[in-house]
């Protein structure tokens, strides 16, 4: 996993969301989905920065914030590793999804769509993503 992890990250340069936040969210989602397992070593700051063509300080900020929240741990001589998962992973995944759903709900309200139409559209999208 450690060899190609930098390729798992993708940034949207035109996004209103800062790049370090995009990286944080991606690490959270990859860990919650099990793509990054506890003990997996993340690529170095320099490697990620080079792959994504971003400032190394941006990657470092993301890693440090993830370490402070307990999602990553620094292992001397090995770099950053995904921390052991806490119990309640299902709730964690729900919490990661909620902001996206809230944004979608706001947009649906702005478009004056009714609840039934919104839910049917979401069901259709879920089927298409299988």
User: Which pTM does this prediction carry?
Assistant: 0.67
* Tens of each residue's pLDDT in the chain, 130 residues: 444 555 789 999 888 999 999 999 999 889 888 899 999 999 999 999 999 999 999 999 999 999 998 899 999 888 899 998 765 556 766 777 788 888 888 888 888 989 999 889 888 888 887 7
Within 13 Å, how many C-alpha atoms sit on residue 98's CB side? 7
Q: What topology does CATH give the domain 19-82? A: Arc Repressor Mutant, subunit A (1.10.10)
**Amino acid 2: pLDDT:** 43
* Sign, Cα dihedral of 63, 61, 66, 102: negative
**Domain boundaries along the sequence of the chain:** 19-82, 90-129
The region, left, alpha or beta by phi > 0 then psi within -120 to 50, assigned to residue 11 is beta
CB 61 within 8 A of CB 101: no
């Amino acid at each position: 996993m450690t060899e190609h992890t930098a390729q798992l990250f993708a940034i949207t340069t035109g996004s209103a969301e800062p790049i370090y936040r995009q990286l944080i969210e991606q690490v959270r989602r990859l860990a919650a989905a099990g793509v990054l397992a506890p003990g997996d070593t993340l690529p170095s700051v320099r490697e990620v920065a080079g792959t994504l063509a971003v400032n190394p300080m941006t990657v470092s900020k993301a890693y440090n914030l993830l370490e402070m929240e307990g999602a990553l741990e620094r292992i001397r001589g090995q770099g950053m590793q995904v921390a052991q998962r806490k119990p309640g992973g299902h709730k964690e995944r729900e919490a990661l999804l909620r902001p996206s759903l809230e944004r979608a709900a706001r947009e649906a309200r702005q478009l004056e769509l009714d609840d039934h139409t919104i839910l049917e559209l979401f069901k259709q999208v879920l089927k298409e993503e299988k």
